[in-house]
Amino acid sequence: MRKSYADYKKHLQQVHDLSVAAAILSWDKEVNMPINGAGFRAQQVATLNGLAHEQFTDPDFGTLINHLLMVESDPQDKRNLERSKSDFQKATCLDRAFVERKSKIVSIGYHKWLAARKENDFSIFQPALAQLITLKREEADKLGYADHPYDALIDQFEPGYKSAQLDALFEQVKTELVAFVRDLRAKPTVDDSFLYHFYPKDKQWSFSLDILKNMGYDFNSGRQDISPHPFTISFSPNDVRVTTQVNEQNFATTCWSSIHEGGHALYEQGLPAKQYGLPLGQACSLGIHESQSRLWENQIGRSYLYWQAMYPNLKKLFPEQLRQTDLDAFFKGINKIEPHPIRIESDELHYHFHILIRYELEKGLIEGSLEVADLPQAWNSKYKDYLDVDIKSDNEGCLQDIHWAHGSIGYFPTYSLGSFYAAQFFAQAKKDIPNLEDTLRQGDCKPLLDWLRINIFAHGRYYLADELCEKVTGERLNFRYFMDYAKAKYVQVYL
């Protein structure tokens, strides 16, 4: 291997190309692939992931990174090298055999989850999940940790974060947010029945595309499809794809899942293309990624300002369904506070109880205090304790999310982190863009998107999440911003 930065860049981009090829196969698996293709697809993805891992962990590449760190002076190039060195050190903890085994187990686990969902029977997924949990415990041991094995897994999604920090953050959720929600639930209920009329699939689909375009999503560099669980996947800033679900009996399902995934996609489309395949061409963290989806979904997509512009078009599309619903009633209805068993259909406040439950269960599974066979009972019990909800089936309970089938242990807390970052970022955007509320009222999202591109997207992984938050807002993550946002908004909803 040669000794220049160009050699480093070329090698890393080739590794990334292999990962992208595997990602394309994974996208096809969830959108188009016939069910009988699962076995060989698992092998194909595992081979590509194994090759990418082997090339990335080539000892000569590690030597090249160390050499260039001593001679490079350009701040961005040096930061790429620093991030690559950290990634290299973590990756070399996992050999190719482990990476390929992990890829196969994840692929099999996904299809077992699909089968379990089809039959509404956790026992079908249970053996595969047990394998996945054993694998993740092994992965945590290989990566190493000081205090708790879960720390090694959360670090993969939110670098530098520890379970002790999450414990403290969720303690604030348990105290401040629980009390606030309790007060709201004591007030007269809000009517959201208009959401549950019959909304034809084709019209919902058409409106979701209009929403994405309005947000600034570039359909020349992406597309939307249907999948069992909404997701975003990026192959480059010029090819970022989203999926959604459609429920003809619940308008909210498609609308806000498209907005949520659109927020993710805008981030990916806004990453610097010149840094393709390099750390500075990648998202800062999953928490920052979720801040973008949650900001668009909640601060924008559930705001009165935004629907002042969008609601007339929606009402023209569904005149009968919304005939007796004016804008005020619509705004209140889409922000109704009510416990719900399904995370992605939860209101934005109870949502964090869902994340808290998953966080506690994940920690238990990884540390061994909870067995996979006992998961449904533990899940149902926590939903009763935290949300006063009775879980009626496995699909409504511990089979509802795809994340564990993907082996994404440590991912769920980033949803709450993202919501809290989103509130802090949006508060700063309102300070920096004096006419932001006027532009949103007119349905113009461009000033906000431009602000996000400059302040969030352009940096890639130059900063860690808390560092980026401090650079943008002047302080690190502060739960107060979320509570201030929630209180200001729900005073309008529950007058």
pLDDT of 321-343, one tens digit each? 999 999 999 999 999 999 999 99
Q: What is the pLDDT of residues 401-411, one digit of tens each?
A: 989 998 999 99
Is residue 398 over pLDDT 80?
yes
Count of Cβ atoms closer than 10 Å to residue 34 Cβ: 7
Task: Answer for the pair 296, 215: CB distance below 8 angstroms, yes or no.
Answer: yes
Check 72, 100, 139, 261 and give the catalytic one.
Answer: 261
Asked if residue 357 has pLDDT above 60, the reply is yes
List pLDDT tens digits, range 14-35. 999 999 999 999 899 889 999 8
Q: Would you state the pLDDT for residue 99?
A: 85
Q: 86: pLDDT confidence band, cut at 50, 70 and 90? A: very high
The separation between CA 336 and the C-alpha centre of its own chain, rounded to angstroms, equals: 23
- How far from the centroid of its chain's Cα atoms is residue 330's Cα? 26
Q: Does 261 participate in catalysis according to the annotation?
A: yes
Residue 82's pLDDT band, with cuts at 50, 70 and 90, is very high
The whole-angstrom separation of Cα 306 and Cα 304 is: 6
Please state the pTM of the whole predicted model: 0.90
Distance CA 393, CA 386 (A): 18
Q: What is the mean pLDDT of residues 207-229?
A: 95
Q: What are phi and psi of 307, to 5 degrees?
A: -80, -10
Domains of the chain by residue range: 5-144, 163-493
Q: Is 305 exposed, middle or buried (0-12, 13-18, 19+ CB in 10 A)?
A: middle
**Averaged over 167-173, what is the pLDDT?**
94
CA end-to-end distance (rounded Å), the chain: 67
Residues 156-164: what's their mean pLDDT?
93
pLDDT band at 42 (very low <50, low <70, confident <90, very high): confident
Q: Which tens digits make up the pLDDT trace of 244-256?
A: 999 999 999 999 9
* Predicted pLDDT of residue 1: 57
Query: Is the CATH number 1.10.1370.30 carried by domain 163-493?
Result: yes
| 231 in Cβ contact with 257 (< 8 Å) | no
